Copies of this chain bind each other. A is one copy, B any other.
Amino acid sequence: MHNSIAHYVFPVTDDLVLGRQVCFALYAASRALTDVYRPILDEFGLTYPQYLVLLVLWERGDDAPTVSELGAALRLDSGTLSPLLKRLEAAGVLVRSRSAADERRVEVRLTDAGRALRERMCGVPLRVALATGLTEAELIGLRDTLNRVTETIHRQKEK
């Protein structure tokens, strides 16, 4: 029925039952949180990954990251970012331009409209945090645990 040694060491991984799997909890919670974002970001004409790109650009201020720097921050590759950035450019919140110093690079910089969005969206994180029903301490603990998992996995992949 199941691996009894694994069961002894790691009951939480027992059996192949959906409700016991951390992986499903993570997958379901991630989609649920995106559901919370959807109607909120819709007010600004953005999707969730597009909003993440703006978070990076707002944080960087005046220095314009390249596509691959954005990819490193968000852990997304050019296959995902290229069309996404094209849509954000069409929406008028950013501009893409080839670097003069290195013609391979494409620099991504906010337009005035993109910068203005930051002010208008400052209430968004709080609205989402409240929807989780967690306390601030729980949110911090959850965030740090998740970041540790992500780090562990990516360190292993580099080897």
Contact = CB atoms under 8 A, between A and B. Distances in A.
Interface of A: 2-3, 6, 9-18, 20-37, 48, 52, 55-56, 58-59, 73-75, 118, 121-126, 128-129, 131-134, 136, 138-150, 152-154, 156-157
**A contact face: mostly helix, strand, loop, or mixed:** helix
A138 to B, nearest CB: 7
A59 to B, nearest CB: 6
Contacts of A150: 25, 28-29, 32
Contact of A126 (B3, B30, B125, B154): B3
Nearest to A130: B10
Given A25-B142, A35-B153, 7 more contacts: A12-B129, A16-B118, A21-B125, A26-B33, A28-B150, A32-B149, A132-B153
The residue among A14, A22, A140 with the most chain B CB atoms within 10 A of its own CB is A22
Contact of A55 (B17, B28, B48): B17
Contact of A145 (B35, B52, B142): B142
